[in-house]
Amino acid sequence: MPLQPSHDCPLCPRLVSFRTKWRKEAPDWHNAPVPSFGPEDAELLIIGLAPGLQGANRTGRPFTGDWAGDLLYATLLDFGFAKGVYDERPDDGLQLVRARIVNAVRCVPPENKPTGPEINTCRKFLIDEFDTLPKVKAMVLLGRIAHDSTLKTLGVKATDAKFGHGAEHQVGKIRLFDSYHCSRYNTNTGRLTNEMFRAVFSAVRSYLG
């Protein structure tokens, strides 16, 4: 089983302080590192940035409870990487199929912006995730931070696999698929359309068969 940070992980002081603040303001929220979601024999690993304040930080499941999750889970359901009904709750019964989701940073950061040291500190959990998921053949990297942290985890130079929406890179037995993050900001500004996002997962589906 991949290593998960403890409920009261002390590694990043700024994130601990932010988490403590929200435990006081919203004591019924998750307000803790968000664990990975999905089977450990997954062939597809989806890597996000960090929990959203009122999304995963509130619900305790990656991409659950905010717009990014609405788009991501609808897409996963359409392409057969999930089954059931997504109802923005961790107890909605939704199951991932051949897929698993993890964030590069497990705790919610202020303004959705983790610092470089926080990303580096949390990478040990991403490394362990990679090391204990033997069947992964494809990874979808949602945004530049997820892309860069994944390259460092895999020991790949940034110049050898440049980020770009729709870009694909082969690293050993694993194919990397880049996408802009499915945030409300990106979709509202037109940086990422539903069609662009679906095209990435269509390519993943074709690759995995």
The answer to whether residue 169 sits within a structural domain is: yes
The answer to whether residue 64 sits within a structural domain is: yes
**pLDDT tens digits, 168-178:** 999 999 999 99
Q: What is the mean pLDDT of residues 51-56?
A: 96
Per cent of the chain over pLDDT 70 is 100
The answer to whether residue 8 sits within a structural domain is: no
Collapsing DSSP states into helix, strand and coil, what is residue 71?
A: helix
Q: What is the mean pLDDT of residues 126-135?
A: 93
Q: How many domains does the chain have?
A: 1
Question: What confidence score (pLDDT) does residue 205 get?
Answer: 98
Distances in whole angstroms, Cα of residue 177 to Cα of each of 157, 164, 174, 185? 16, 9, 10, 21
CATH of the domain at 76: 3.40.470.10
The answer to whether residue 65 sits within a structural domain is: yes
Kindly tell me if the per-residue pLDDT of 145 is higher than 80. Answer: yes
The sign of the dihedral angle between the CA atoms of 115, 104, 35, 56 is positive
Cα separation, 162 vs 147, in Å, equals 9
* Strand runs labelled E in the chain: 44-48, 82-83, 95-96, 99-103, 138-142, 168-171, 174-179
Question: What confidence score (pLDDT) does residue 2 get?
Answer: 80
State in Å, rounded, how far the first CA of the chain is from the last one: 26
The answer to whether residue 4 sits within a structural domain is: no
**pLDDT tens digits, 71-118:** 999 999 999 999 999 999 999 999 999 999 999 999 999 999 999 999
The answer to whether residue 31 sits within a structural domain is: yes
The answer to whether residue 98 sits within a structural domain is: yes
Global pTM value: 0.96
Q: In this structure, what token pair is assigned to residue 14? A: 């700024």
Phi and psi at 178, nearest 5°, equal -90, 145
Question: What confidence score (pLDDT) does residue 199 get?
Answer: 98
65: domain range?
13-208
The answer to whether residue 5 sits within a structural domain is: no
